[in-house]
């Protein structure tokens, strides 16, 4: 389950600069051949210092971090939803993503011209929201007649049509689909419509270097992550040690990539558990609240189907007690059943039978 995120924003705000920095650093070239077929798709490792800590204990053949897929599209402009510019065509590329990351220009560099439809962050965000809402209205315009036919064929489809119509009215008022009050069933039906404004969103404020440490207020409850695309693109050419020094000079602990990946995890309510063995130490992505069989299913559906039990050590125990044997000796290794709610960082081993 690679998490996927579509990058949107006005032209010239730094989307591709950020994308290139993110994907180069993730070392995508060798590992993910399909990324070279579509240069706008980049798969990025999610940095997690815990992986190295685990590796120092088990000395595995390799370390496999969780990944996030970023999709870079052309800038949206006013009227993109009506085919103005290239935007509309590209919006189709992000229909299937899990979340949207909107890059907003906060940097001041007068040498980088603003697109004519860009003025300041607040109005830029409004422009993008309008275009996404219009794109969704276009989707509904096509979906509703199809749903009407389906209802004629089978009355059981009526709730789907009803939520599509409610969404249409709601979007027509300029609202995001996600802000509509829906029951879980309605949400599931809405999900099948692949609306862009139904997706969770986070904002990247592409700021000047000297504004990097500042916290920015949330927008409509959505997190705003300050990043400097310029700094990120400078970081990729540095050796790890130099990069840490460079970050420290700027008063930062983490690169924008780390901050962004972690914000995306929070936004989507995700966490990681680990498997640790001679062959590999690997991070697996699961929703917060997932139970042991669901976590096992991320590795293989057979693991979920035939789940018997899970052997679990907490990350803290695993590291402080020096691994599996240490946990066992200290009585800190647990056998958990199908109702166990997996905790962030758990080191797990599944027993299954199919």
Please state the closest distance from residue 22 (CB atom) to Mg ion, in A.
13
- Token pair in block for residue 113: 């011209």
Count residues contacting Mg ion (CB under 5 A)?
A: 2
Task: Tell me the window of 10-18, 186-194, 279-287, 317-325 that interacts with Mg ion (CB under 5 A).
Answer: 10-18
Q: How far apart are CA 134 and CA 166, in angstroms?
A: 15
Convert 215-226 to b/e letters by CB count within 10 Å (16 or more is b): ebeebeebbbbb
Residue nearest to ligand GTP (CB): 75
Please state the closest distance from residue 7 (CB atom) to Mg ion, in A.
9
Total Cβ atoms within 10 A of residue 277: 12
Please state the closest distance from residue 70 (CB atom) to ligand GTP, in A.
12
Q: Which is nearer to ligand GTP, 47 or 75 (CB)?
A: 75
Q: How far apart are CA 17 and CA 24, in angstroms?
A: 11
- Residue 121 interacting partner from ligand GTP, Mg ion, none (CB closer than 5 to 8 Å by kind): none
Please state the closest distance from residue 205 (CB atom) to Mg ion, in A.
17
Asked if 42 and 70 count as a contact pair (C-beta separation under 8 A), the reply is yes
Please state the closest distance from residue 178 (CB atom) to ligand GTP, in A.
24
Q: Which is nearer to ligand GTP, 256 or 293 (CB)?
A: 256
Q: For the chain, how many helices (H) and strands (E)? A: 15, 12
Q: Which is nearer to ligand GTP, 26 or 75 (CB)?
A: 75
Please state the closest distance from residue 15 (CB atom) to Mg ion, in A.
5
Interface positions, 313-332, toward Mg ion (CB under 5 A): none
Question: Any idea of the CA torsion for 167, 169, 170, 176, to the nearest 10 degrees?
Answer: 70
Which positions touch ligand GTP (CB under 6 A)?
A: 9, 11-17, 74-75, 107, 109, 112, 206, 228-230
Q: Which is nearer to Mg ion, 74 or 201 (CB)?
A: 74
Q: Which is nearer to ligand GTP, 14 or 293 (CB)?
A: 14
Q: How far apart are CA 198 and CA 125, in angstroms?
A: 16
Asked if 163 and 190 count as a contact pair (C-beta separation under 8 A), the reply is yes
Tell me the DSSP string of 108-150. --TTSPPPTT--SHHHHHHHHHHHHHHHHHHHHHHHHHHHHHH
Q: Which of 16, 20, 40, 311 binds Mg ion (CB under 5 A)?
A: 16
Q: Which is nearer to Mg ion, 115 or 160 (CB)?
A: 115
DSSP for residue 61: S
- Residue 107 interacting partner from Mg ion, ligand GTP, none (CB closer than 5 to 8 Å by kind): ligand GTP
Please state the closest distance from residue 198 (CB atom) to ligand GTP, in A.
23
- Residue 13 interacting partner from Mg ion, ligand GTP, none (CB closer than 5 to 8 Å by kind): ligand GTP
- Token pair in block for residue 226: 């300050």
Q: How far apart are CA 328 and CA 299, in angstroms?
A: 24
Closest CA to 103 of 134, 136, 128: 128
Task: Tell me the window of 7-15, 195-203, 227-235, 249-257 that interacts with Mg ion (CB under 5 A).
Answer: 7-15
- Residue 60 interacting partner from Mg ion, ligand GTP, none (CB closer than 5 to 8 Å by kind): none
Which spans of this chain sit near Mg ion (rule: CB under 5 A)? 15-16
């Amino acid at each position: 389950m690679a998490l996927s995120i579509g990058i949107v924003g006005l032209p010239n705000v730094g989307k591709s600069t950020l994308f290139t920095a993110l994907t180069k650093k993730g070392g995508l070239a060798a590992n993910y051949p399909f990324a070279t077929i579509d240069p706008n798709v980049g798969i990025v490792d999610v940095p997690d210092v815990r992986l190295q800590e685990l590796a120092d204990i088990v000395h595995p053949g390799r370390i496999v971090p969780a990944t996030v897929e970023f999709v870079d599209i052309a800038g949206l402009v006013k009227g993109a939803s009506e085919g103005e510019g290239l935007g509309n065509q590209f919006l189709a590329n992000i229909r299937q993503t899990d979340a949207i990351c909107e890059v907003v220009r906060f940097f001041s560099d007068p040498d980088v011209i603003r697109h004519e439809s860009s003025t300041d962050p607040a109005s830029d965000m409004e422009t993008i929201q309008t275009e996404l809402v219009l794109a969704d209205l276009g989707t509904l315009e096509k979906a509703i007649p199809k749903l009407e036919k389906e209802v004629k064929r089978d009355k059981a489809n009526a709730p789907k049509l009803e939520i599509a119509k409610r969404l249409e009215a709601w979007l027509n008022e300029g609202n995001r689909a996600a802000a509509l009050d829906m029951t879980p069933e309605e949400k599931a039906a809405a999900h099948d419509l692949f609306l862009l404004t139904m997706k969770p969103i986070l904002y990247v404020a592409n700021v000047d270097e000297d504004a990097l440490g500042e916290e920015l207020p949330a927008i409509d409850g959505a997190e705003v992550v300050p990043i400097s695309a310029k700094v990120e693109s400078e970081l990729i050419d540095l050796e790890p040690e130099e990069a840490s020094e460079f970050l420290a000079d700027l008063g930062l602990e983490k690169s924008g990539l780390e901050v962004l990946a972690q914000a995306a995890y929070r936004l989507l309510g995700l966490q990681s558990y680990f498997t640790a063995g001679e062959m590999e130490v690997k991070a697996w992505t699961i929703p917060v609240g997932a139970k042991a069989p669901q976590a096992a299913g991320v590795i293989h559906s057979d693991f979920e189907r035939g789940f018997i039990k899970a052997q679990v050590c907490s990350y803290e125990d695993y590291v402080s007690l020096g691994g599996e044997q240490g946990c066992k000796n200290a009585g800190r290794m647990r056998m958990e059943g199908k109702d166990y709610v997996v905790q962030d960082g758990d080191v797990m081993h599944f027993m299954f039978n199919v």
